[in-house]
Structure 1
Amino acid sequence: MSDSDDDVPTLSAHTLAALHEFYEESQGKKNTCDVSTPADQFAVGAVEEDWGMSQFWYTDETATRLAEELLEQAGVEGRIACVSAPSVYQKLKQLGDNASVTVFEYDRRFAVYGDEFIFYDYNEPLGPAERGVAPRSFDVVLVDPPYLSEECLSKVARTVKYLTKGKVLLCTGGVMENVAKQLLNVNVCHFLPQHRRNLSNDFRCFVNYPSPLLSG
């Protein structure tokens, strides 16, 4: 081996630029999860989906449609709850409306949203009450149960009934239609929600109030 500096390996200008870009991007993602950042600074995509936690993000079009529906139903200064529907919560934040929004989510990464995050485990249907959430505090509740099972939907339905003043927007598999009707008195909509990654399940929306979503 030679001691000459000429033998020391060097990186090309292109490679250095690529490494710098990667570093900047990594730092940006790290800063995105800084809990000291105010909740209103976070937009859709601030937290990415995790299939291991049964998270399946909606397409931007679907998230926007659902967020606009929630804002319309909540009304001026209304309160919205997103139960296990984090991508719609993030879209609501992106739209920048003045509505009060709370995300009830098992994924503790959403703690970056401060007081707007309430830890939620569907196995503890009344967990929100134990965490200081008052009954019937929300004008409209959007819920997307993490699993397609009667057991899961039954527990989540208890949570929804505790939170809502009346209006419920449920997103789940079409196979759950009869159970959803029994538990929450909701009707299937013509509007078909879509996910960023195609799911094999027939996914539908259900509401218990008059909505444009019913007619597509």
Structure 2
Amino acid sequence: MSRALGDGQLSQFWYSQETALKLAKEAIAAAGEGGRIACVSTPSVYQKLRELHREDLAVYVFEYDRRFAIYGEEFVFYDYNNPLDFPENIAAHSFDIVIVDPPYLSEECLRKTSETVKYLTRDKILLCTGAVMEEEAMRVLGVKMCRFTPEHTRNVANEFRCYTNYDSGLDHDV
């Protein structure tokens, strides 16, 4: 999910239902049975994971928008400007997969968000961001662009893409 701030309001760009479902299913497959999934700045994927009712998975949403605090212990306030500021119950390398969409298309934001991702993940990363960030994403996270192209409910000005650091289903059946 990307966000833009204007007039002090948080404006969010949500994935389409199809994209959120595809990303949620990919996260489930990557996490494996009994896995742990971190959704960093991707609340629409988090909500889709909740809809899928997988009791064997632990799913957390790391989000700046405090409206998601309604999810209780699964909500972790997240500000990319403080990339490692987490409660004590969030341990290093405790998630099987981190799905992340940095809130801004900038090298600084991707670099800071990458600190978060590297702290949280055991190994698997699923990044959604602008195609213009491909080289930087490869450099800071070791990810490669997938064939799958995420779509949003509203038009966004930049071409968005998915990137992973593992053999992903997002490269098949697109």
Normalising by structure 1, what TM-score?
A: 0.74
Kept in 2, the 8 Å contact 1:55–1:146? The answer is no
Q: Is residue 111 of structure 1 aligned with residue 33 of structure 2?
A: no
Match of 1:125 among 59, 80, 83: 83
Counterpart residue identity of residue 155, structure 1: K
> How far apart, CA to CA, are the structure 2 residues paired with 1:64 and 1:70?
10
The C-alpha deviation readout for 1:145-187, integer Å capped at 9, x for no partner, is: 0000000000000000000000000000000000000000000
- Residue 195 in structure 1 maps to residue 157 in structure 2: no
Count residues with an aligned counterpart. Answer: 167
Q: Structure 2 residue aligned with 1:101, among 59, 67, 86?
A: 59
**2:135 aligned with 1:135, yes or no?**
no
Aligned to 1:178: 135
Say whether the 8 Å CA contact 1:54–1:147 is kept in structure 2.
no
By how many angstroms is 1:120 displaced?
0.4
Amino acid at match of 1:122: Y
Q: What are the equivalent positions in structure 2 for 1:59-78 lying under 5 Å apart? A: 59-78=16-35
Distance 1:178 1:127, change over 3 A: same
* 1:26-65 aligned within 5 A: 52-65=9-22
**1:145 matches 2:102:** yes
Name 1:24's counterpart in structure 2. none
Q: CA deviation digits over 1:166-213, x for unaligned, max 9?
A: 000000000000000000000001100000001121100000000121
Identity of aligned residues (%): 59
Contact 1:58 1:87 in 2 (8 A): yes
Equivalent residues of 1:84, 1:105 under 8 A apart: yes
Detail structure 1 runs of 4+ shifted over 3 Å in the superposition. 49-52
> Larger C-alpha radius of gyration, 1 or 2?
1
Deviation by residue 1:69-99 (Cα, 9 ceiling, x = unmatched): 0000101110000000000000000111121
In 2, Cα distance between equivalents of 1:63 and 1:203: 14
For the Cα contact (< 8 Å) 1:54–1:146, is it kept in 2? no
Q: Unaligned regions of 5+ residues in structure 2, if any? A: none
Q: Please, what is the CA RMSD of the aligned residues?
A: 1.5
Equivalent-residue separation in structure 2 for 1:54 and 1:177 (angstroms):
24
Counterparts of 2:122 and 2:100, CA distance in 1? 14
Pick the structure with more strand per residue: 2
Structure 1 portions without partners, runs of 5+: 1-48
* Aligned counterparts of 1:155 and 1:53: Cα–Cα separation in 2: 20
The code of the aligned residue for 1:116 comes to E
Counterpart CA distance in 2 for 1:179 and 1:106 is 23
